[in-house]
Structure 1
Amino acid sequence: MTDTGHMEQGGPNSLPPELWLRICFLLDLPDAGNFRLVCKTFSGIGARVVFRRLVVHADPDNHSLLRILARDRAKSKYLQSFIYTPAPVRRSWAGAWSAGPVRTLLSDDGQVRQQAYAKLDQQRDAHSRVQGNLLICELLPVVLPRLTGLRSVIINCEGWHQCSDRYGARGSYTPLTLIHRQHGKPGSRVLTALLGALEKSETKLETLKAGRLEWRSIGDLPQTPTQLAPFSNLADLNLHFCVCGIDRFGLGAKHPDLAEYARLNEAKMLPNFLGSLPRLRALAIAFCSLSPRGPGVSEGWLRDVVRRGQHWPHLASLSFGGMNLTKSLLMDVLARHKDTLRRLELFAVWLDDHWPSALAEMRDMLTLEDATIWSGLCGDEGRWKMLGHPEPPRTEDRENVVHAIRKYMVQGGSCPITDETVARGPPEMFGGCRGSCWY
């Protein structure tokens, strides 16, 4: 467990400079004003250190740390910001310990036995992390209201999602999934209890300022005022859906009437959810590339989101991925909503068809000073297969497949483009979504 603290040097509770420098030397820390301490060191120093920021990782030692904070007001009254970062666990290792390796554990082949024991250790470690994360989630509603000096609580979940299933039906097994998926068995109860406890406390909190949220489909988005309340302060949002389109229930072939009803119902859910986020600064929406899509579904979602953009005065970044977008559709949206798009610092899209002339048309339409095409995504065969295509494209076709348009406008500030930014590709350019469906 590590937590980040800051000591007000020279204050009544500050450590002597000699002891302070010795601690930093022992911990190999270059900066004496911003350091990392283990839990035992924190409890030993006691109230002599004034902590301004606490970062919690899901580790067994954190349980005792949270209880210390809850009991001792001297240690907790100076805490102003609480950032919760659970330990990510891949879902493929997060289930119950598998009985599959039992046969291989008794194998005569030493290499097979070694691999089986390694797999068992990975499953045991993942199971331990999951249990630790769940215990932290149970403690948060009890501990946070007692931290009377808090001014903000941030649940930062960017970059946790790693698609472990080839078809994208399952994602990483982290408290992010448990907390934000409304139908998660412990998740919705934990989130409701946490927010209820915070509302009754004396703290003034800004919950969920930034995050990567995952739902199986648009139909699972929160819709009621109670469900939408936790997300009202979001400024940076990265939405990921594992399944999109009218076939999320498998109704397309057998029950077309029910499928049409589901499509119409979903068409209202995304605008309703986005309409409850007045403080958005950056929005990225991505669908698993292998998800089934109905005709016209992506077009409707794109128009709804861009149309909604005029109601977000602080919006600076807008990204779309995993949609069936064509040149004609995109040009129509650009023509209708030029005023909204011109004030953006980042506009990124993923297109299906090949159109080398579209970049020039976009620059003329939006009066772009600069634009960049990033084509490195298609260069790796494994990544290309994850996009649902049978074989990698030819070299001359690569830059016609994925168009990530990074621009800075004549009006509304600047967002300079460098070779390093382009080399990093979609994880940095598409709202900083690491480990997402772009890969």
Structure 2
Amino acid sequence: MDRLPTETIHRIFALLDVADVKSLRLACKSFSIIGTEYLCPSIVLELGLDPSHKLRSIVSQPGIAKGVQSVAFYSFPILVSRLAANDCFAQINVGNNGVVHDLIHGAFVNFEYHYLYFLHALPQLPKLRFVNLDMLPYVNHLEPGLLVLHESLPIVTVASQPFKMLLRVLFHSGIKLEGLTTNFLDWGFFDSSPDELESLWKPLTDLKYLRFEFHNRRLVQLIHSDRVVTRCNAILEAGALRNHLAQLAELRTMDINFFFTTITYDIHQMTASWSTGLPLGWVVPHEFTWPYLKTIRLSYVHTERHEMINFLSRHKQTLRVLHLSNVTLLSTSWLILLADIRKELRLTEAHLCGHIWGRYEITEARAGQEQHWPMHQISSALHDQVNEYLSAGEEDVSGMGFTSPEAIFNAIELGFH
């Protein structure tokens, strides 16, 4: 065994699960040394389970830390800075002589400590390639009886700060990720100077898997919400997101979710309405193609069918998985788009989810009428049939009961009425 090339031994260990790695390390001294690197390929850190202690025990053993490739951090609040949160704590109606205030403030100090230690430890994980950053909403989610007052939180970048902190650490450590998933980002992440964005984006240029979830859903109480959305929309319309996505030449999976509310506020009442999300053109560079893109998941975007099918058709050589959720066609028909998807693409998996909006076109019997299919209200069996139709390509689907998009949506309308 000692005669085996070191590279071959590494390849063997890379194929094994942790239990088999532990067993194989017993074979000889060289296997024991090399196998140390494969004892902990992934780390899951959870608040409440002393994540700093777990991480400290790993980074204190360089042989083990060297092999960590994936870290998932569950779940910390988006306010990790006491400086950002102090005004919030000061304005909460705490009662009980400040007892609740002390508990909440102490919890954030604890959260901040764990997150900052997590960032401190990242440079000691040289082979890190995947990060899952799972963020909680802010204070009043942790303590349901408390209301965060309107002026208490920063205007734009509350949720973006921890993500920016992560990218800065990765940039200065020279770590380049292949996979990233994060949620509860506000769009203020892109409200930065071009130089700052370039440095923040460098750790991501080798990404193969990307999941971004942008929304202001947890900022409903802010009287400034409309102004925030307006400002961020202007930034995204100018190309902040699409220009940076175009730099991800290795991308295999793109999963992007845009969800926000618009707020109407006066002294007597405040109402919220759901948005249709962002224009597809703010996300996808014009006529751009990712050469290896296999999976597309888009939520809360609006577009027209010709723009959507052009985007999808540019990737028909590689695209195999398509998930569309809460997608709105502003003045064109889903019936025509579905026929185009089935004709142009060769999908192995397709999902149509959430609220689907469109409008019948002049060539259709119900021209001008609105299309609205709440896919979550139909039966799972019918939902599966719709998805099978989309992924069938040119195959005969008469056995499914559907021979056309019209047949699908006749069934859908019967299914939820």
TM-score, normalised via structure 1 length: 0.52
How far 1:305 sits from its partner (Å)? 1.0
Q: Provide the secondary structure at the position in 2 that maps to 1:87.
A: strand
Residue of structure 1 equivalent to 2:292: 313
Task: Give RMSD over aligned pairs.
Answer: 5.4
Residue of structure 1 equivalent to 2:267: none
Q: Provide the secondary structure at the position in 1 that maps to 2:212.
A: strand
Q: Provide the secondary structure at the position in 2 that maps to 1:400.
A: strand
Kindly indicate which of the two structures has a greater share of residues assigned to strand. 2
Q: In the TM superposition, what whole-angstrom CA distance separates every residue of 1:14-51 from its partner, at most 9, and x where no partner exists?
A: 9xxxxxxxxxxxxxxxxxxxxxxxxxxxxxxxx9x943
Q: Are 2:52 and 2:114, in contact at CA under 8 Å, matched by a contact in 1?
A: yes
Residue of structure 2 equivalent to 1:384: none
How far 1:361 sits from its partner (Å)? 1.3
Runs of 5+ unmatched residues, structure 1 = 15-46, 107-115, 253-258, 379-396, 412-416, 418-439
Q: In the TM superposition, what whole-angstrom CA distance separates every residue of 1:105-136 from its partner, at most 9, and x where no partner exists?
A: 38xxxxxxxxx97xx2xx65554443334323
How far 1:59 sits from its partner (Å)? 4.8
Residue of structure 2 equivalent to 1:288: 260
Counterparts of 1:353 and 1:276, CA distance in 2: 27
Q: Are 2:76 and 2:111, in contact at CA under 8 Å, matched by a contact in 1?
A: no
Show the 5 A alignment for 1:46-125: 50-59=39-48, 61-73=50-62, 76=64, 79-89=67-77, 95-96=85-86, 97=89, 100-101=92-93, 103=95, 105=96, 120=100
Residue of structure 2 equivalent to 1:179: 162
Are the structure 2 counterparts of residues 290 and 141 from structure 1 closer, same or farther at C-alpha, using a change threshold of 3 Å? Answer: closer
Counterparts of 1:102 and 1:333, CA distance in 2: 52
How far 1:267 sits from its partner (Å)? 1.9
Show the 5 A alignment for 1:120-269: 120=100, 126-140=104-118, 142-147=120-125, 150-157=126-133, 160=136, 177-180=160-163, 182=164, 187=165, 191-196=167-172, 198-199=173-174, 206=177, 208-212=179-183, 214-217=185-188, 219-220=190-191, 223-224=194-195, 225-234=198-207, 235-242=209-216, 249=227, 263=234, 266-269=237-240
Are the structure 2 counterparts of residues 222 and 135 from structure 1 closer, same or farther at C-alpha, using a change threshold of 3 Å? Answer: farther
Q: Are 1:221 and 1:270, in contact at CA under 8 Å, matched by a contact in 2?
A: no
* Amino acid of the structure 1 residue aligned with 2:76: P
* Amino acid of the structure 1 residue aligned with 2:334: L
* Amino acid of the structure 1 residue aligned with 2:210: D
* Amino acid of the structure 1 residue aligned with 2:322: L
1:358 to 333, 346, 349: 333
1:10 is the counterpart of 2:23 = yes
* Amino acid of the structure 2 residue aligned with 1:311: W
Are the structure 2 counterparts of residues 289 and 312 from structure 1 closer, same or farther at C-alpha, using a change threshold of 3 Å? Answer: farther
Counterparts of 1:127 and 1:352, CA distance in 2: 42
Q: Are 1:221 and 1:273, in contact at CA under 8 Å, matched by a contact in 2?
A: no
Q: Are 1:133 and 1:175, in contact at CA under 8 Å, matched by a contact in 2?
A: no
Q: Are 1:351 and 1:401, in contact at CA under 8 Å, matched by a contact in 2?
A: no
Q: Provide the secondary structure at the position in 2 that maps to 1:130.
A: helix
Question: Aligned residues: percent identity?
Answer: 9
Which structure exhibits the higher relative contact order, with contacts defined as CA atoms closer than 8 Å and separated by 6 or more residues? 1
Counterparts of 1:205 and 1:125, CA distance in 2: 38
1:279 is the counterpart of 2:250 = yes
How far 1:156 sits from its partner (Å)? 0.4
How far 1:376 sits from its partner (Å)? 7.7
Q: Provide the secondary structure at the position in 1 that maps to 2:77.
A: coil
